[in-house]
A and B are shown apart, each in its own frame.
Chain A
Amino acid sequence: NAGVTQTPKFRVLKTGQSMTLLCAQDMNHEYMYWYRQDPGMGLRLIHYSVGEGTTAKGEVPDGYNVSRLKKQNFLLGLESAAPSQTSVYFCASTPPETGGGGYTFGSGTRLTVV
């Protein structure tokens, strides 16, 4: 009964380094999302996907790329990390037509860029 699993849970990067955050869900959900949470800002949508092979930009996509080659996985990439990308990243998935109440979130990845 894993739900949504995010790896890694913690990471420290140096400015300019690259990394990939992995999100895996075992609920056969169509839709997947990447959010970032910053103090005083709530959760903001970075990128999302409505199905295997499809991705789209959210509210704050700059500096990030994503891929959804398999239905169960949604990858978030940082090509050249910047201190402004220090944040807690949450992945979520949902089946369609739930009005937003069907989200299952992962436990988050805390990323620090120094």
Chain B
Amino acid sequence: DQQVKQNSPSLSVQEGRISILNCDYTNSMFDYFLWYKKYPAEGPTFLISISSIKDKNEDGRFTVFLNKSAKHLSLHIVPSQPGDSAVYFCAASPRGGAQKLVFGQGTRLTINP
């Protein structure tokens, strides 16, 4: 039972355009939603997060949107740069406790020059 789903295994975007990565979840107990970025042969690194009490959080070129009624979140990257090429994991965490993250399957983003 996949509680966090990323239905697009890959996405290709032209440099300078907007990249939109999507994620759906099923568990209403999730309180924080996060995006992690992963380069080959490295561990994931934290990118941006959003609390369930917000619908938008912005950090430079990265914006995360949360639609609680649809149980959907998205990551917007604008403008996209070649260094953004990586695998992006959506993750969710319930309130309090051990902060165990539940990850989606990942989306491989390729930025083309």
Q: Answer yes or no: are A and B bound together in one complex.
A: yes
B98 in contact with A31 (CB, 8 Å)? yes
B99 in contact with A41 (CB, 8 Å)? no
A48 in contact with B98 (CB, 8 Å)? yes
Stretch at the interface among A61-69, A70-78, A79-87, A92-100: A92-100
B100 in contact with A58 (CB, 8 Å)? yes
B93 in contact with A100 (CB, 8 Å)? yes
List chain B residues, Cβ under 8 A from A50.
98
A99 in contact with B104 (CB, 8 Å)? no
**Closest chain A residue to B48, Cβ basis:** A101
B25 CB within 8 Å of chain A:
no
Chain A 42-72 residues near chain B, CB threshold 8 A: 42-45, 48, 50, 56, 58-59
Residues of chain B at the chain A interface (Cβ within 8 Å): 4, 6, 9, 31-32, 34, 36, 41-46, 49, 51, 89, 91-93, 98-106
